[in-house]
Every structure is written in structure tokens, then in C-alpha cells.
């Protein structure tokens, strides 16, 4: 990893950490129509995926600084895998917003204010840094499947709150409309397929031009 690449990575990942942190603080300071208090924000995969991405970005920032100070030459493989998982999670958020939520709720709610960073800015910075400059070792196929973990964990919680418990019994409202017309079996198949596709696409963009011998 060259010093130039480390600088680009440092800038992009620092922006992810700083802006995501500010957005999270704003949820507690400035209540909105959707998120009435900061704690409610954790119900949304958008929030959870961006926090995961920001934590991964913070770890990368720490190692970028070590690279720039000459203490190490590249990111450890485990760090790249962690960044991969976070990037896949926020790209799932991005794709869900673009292809599903905007057609249902319209672009304003999904793209204005802090939503722009959480739905577009943060995911794009994560993808750009991971696919262009954070390229030392290849992500293997088994490691690519780790990209499904955030969706699987969140999906289990969402299914429990929305379908098994239900809003009328104290669970969550179906704010993602995943159970509209009781279509949760279709939603599970679609989300698993979409997340797998995103995971392997992110892997492909990262692995391109990395020699297999570096894995």
C-alpha cells in the first residue's frame, strides 16, 4: 500500500467516522418525524449498517496512520475482511433505498438531510476506499459469505419484532414494508439473494488486479 493510497484511505475513512458520528449525535439532539429519539434509530438497518461501517473505517484509519508513519507496509488481512463486511452492509442499505424504498416512499425522505450520508454518501465512500485503495490481500469465497452476517442477524430481529410479535402486541411496525401482504417468505429469499450478489460484487471490485499469490 503506497503512501498516496494510505492518504486517500485515511481521508475517506475519517470522513465516514466523523460524519456518521455527527449523524448519530443529531438523532439524539434533533428529533425527526421518523426517528423521534436517538434510541429509536437503532431499529433501522440503515443506522446499524453505518455504525458497523464506521467502526471498520476507524480501524482502517488506525492502520493507515501506522502505514504513513512507516511502522507497517499494508493493512492486515483481518482488517480488510472487517472492512469488507461493513462495506457490504452499507451497500445493502444503498441498494435497498435505491431499488425498493425510494419507489415506495419517494426520494425526499430517503435522500435529504442526514439521510443522504446514511443512504448514499457513507456507502459510496466505503465502497470507493475498499475497491480502489485498500487492496492488499484477496477476499476469498468463504470470507465473502461473511458479508451476509449483518443482514442475517438484523433480519432475524426484524422478523421476530414484525412477524412473530407484531406491532399490535408491542413489536415494531413494518417500516420497511417487507411483510406487506404477508409476503415475508418472498422477502427472505429476495434479501438473501440480493445480499449474496452485493457481497460477491464488492469482493470482485476489491480483488481485481490483486495477484492470487498475495492472498
> In this predicted model, what pLDDT tens digit does every residue of 148-184 receive, in sequence order?
999 999 999 999 999 999 889 999 988 888 888 888 9
pLDDT over 70, % of the chain: 95
pLDDT of residue 8: 96
Within the chain, strands assigned E span none
Q: Is the pLDDT of residue 34 over 70?
A: no
Lowest mean pLDDT among 25-39, 64-78, 98-112, 135-149: 25-39
Q: Is the pLDDT of residue 33 over 70?
A: no
Q: How far apart are CA 155 and CA 36, in angstroms?
A: 23
Lowest mean pLDDT among 66-70, 87-91, 108-112: 108-112
On whether the CB atoms of residues 23 and 118 are closer than 8 A, the answer is yes
Neighbour tally for 115: CB within 10 Å: 19
Q: Is the pLDDT of residue 1 over 90?
A: no
Residue partners of 208: CB distance under 8 A and separation at least 6: 131
Segment 201-207 mean pLDDT: 96
On whether the CB atoms of residues 104 and 174 are closer than 8 A, the answer is no
**Which pTM was predicted?**
0.91
Amino acid at each position: 500500500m503506497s503512501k498516496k493510497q494510505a492518504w486517500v484511505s485515511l481521508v475517506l475513512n475519517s470522513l465516514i467516522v466523523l460524519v456518521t458520528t455527527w449523524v448519530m449525535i443529531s438523532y439524539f439532539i434533533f428529533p425527526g418525524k421518523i426517528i423521534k429519539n436517538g434510541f429509536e434509530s437503532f431499529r433501522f438497518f440503515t443506522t446499524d449498517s453505518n455504525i458497523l461501517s464506521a467502526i471498520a473505517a476507524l480501524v482502517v484509519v488506525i492502520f493507515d496512520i501506522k502505514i504513513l508513519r512507516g511502522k507497517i507496509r499494508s493493512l492486515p488481512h483481518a482488517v480488510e475482511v472487517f472492512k469488507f463486511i461493513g462495506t457490504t452492509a452499507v451497500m445493502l442499505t444503498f441498494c435497498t433505498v435505491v431499488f425498493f424504498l425510494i419507489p415506495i416512499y419517494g426520494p425526499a425522505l430517503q435522500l435529504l438531510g442526514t439521510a443522504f450520508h446514511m443512504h448514499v454518501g457513507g456507502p459510496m465512500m466505503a465502497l470507493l476506499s475498499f475497491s480502489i485503495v485498500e487492496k492488499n490481500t484477496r477476499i476469498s469465497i468463504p470470507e465473502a459469505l461473511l458479508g451476509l452476517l449483518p443482514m442475517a442477524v438484523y433480519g432475524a430481529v426484524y422478523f421476530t419484532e414484525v412477524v412473530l410479535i407484531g406491532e399490535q402486541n408491542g413489536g415494531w411496525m413494518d417500516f420497511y414494508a417487507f411483510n406487506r401482504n404477508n409476503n415475508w417468505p418472498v422477502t427472505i429469499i429476495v434479501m438473501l439473494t440480493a445480499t449474496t450478489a452485493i457481497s460477491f460484487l464488492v469482493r470482485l471490485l476489491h480483488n481485481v488486479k490483486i495477484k492470487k499469490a498475495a492472498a
